[in-house]
Amino acid sequence: MVDVIATQHLTIGFGATRVVHRLSFSIAAGEVVALVGESGSGKSTVALSLMGLLGRSASVEGSIHLSRKNGETCDLLTLPERRLRAIRGNDLAMIFQEPMASLDPIYRIGAQITEALAVHRPMPQAALRTEALRLLRSVAIANPEACLSAYPHQLSGGQRQRVMIAIALSCQPRLLIADEPTTALDATIQAQIIDQLRQLRAETGMAVLFITHDLGLVREIADRVLVMYAGRIVESGPTEAVFGAPRMPYTAGLMRSRPRLFAETPVRIEPIPGNVPNPAHLPPGCAFHPRCAHSQPGRCDSGTPEPEACAPGHQVCCLRWREIVA
Ligand SMILES: Nc1ncnc2c1ncn2[C@@H]1O[C@H](COP(=O)(O)OP(=O)(O)OP(=O)(O)O)[C@@H](O)[C@H]1O
Ligand code: SF4
Ligand SMILES: [Mg+2]
Indicate whether 284 and 304 sit together in one domain. Answer: yes
Sheet order of strands, 58-67 included: 17-28, 3-14, 58-67, 73-75
Query: Among 45, 94, 257, which residue has the most ligand 1 atoms within 8 Å of its CB, making it the best to mutate?
Result: 45
Distance of CA 62 from the midpoint of ligand 1 (Å)? 19
For residue 2, the CA-to-ligand 1 centroid distance in Å is 30
Cα-to-chain-centroid distance, residue 298: 35
Same domain for 234 and 215: no
CATH number at residue 162: 3.40.50.300
Mutating to test ligand 2, I would choose from 319, 324, 325 the residue with most ligand atoms within 8 A of its C-beta, which is 319
Tell whether 267 and 313 lie within a shared domain: yes
Q: Of the candidates 222, 253, 288, which is a domain's last residue? A: 222
161-197 tens-digit pLDDT: 889 989 988 888 999 999 988 776 777 877 877 887 8
235 C-alpha to center of ligand 1: Å? 20
Does one domain contain both 269 and 212?
Answer: no
Q: Residues lining ligand 1, judged by CB closer than 6 Å?
A: 14, 19, 37, 39-45, 57, 279
- Which residue's CA is the closest to the ligand 1 atom numbered 2? 14
How many angstroms separate the alpha carbon of residue 45 from the centre of ligand 1?
6
Query: 218 and 248 share a domain?
Result: no
Domain-terminating residue out of 161, 189, 222 = 222
Which of 176, 194, 222 marks a domain boundary? Answer: 222
- Residue 297, classed as helix, strand or coil, is coil
Looking at the fold, whether 7 and 146 belong to one and the same domain comes out as yes
Same domain for 93 and 128, yes or no, is yes
Is residue 279 located within the same domain as residue 236? yes
Per the structure, the count of domains in the chain is 2
102 with 200, same domain? yes
pLDDT in tens, 128-171: 999 999 999 988 898 999 999 999 999 988 888 889 989 988 88
Task: Quick: pLDDT tens for 216-270.
Answer: 889 989 999 999 999 999 999 999 999 999 999 999 999 988 767 777 777 778 8
Show the domain range for 157.
3-222
Q: Give the strand pairing for 308-311 and 314-316.
A: antiparallel
157 and 64 share one domain: yes
**272 lies in the same domain as 152:** no
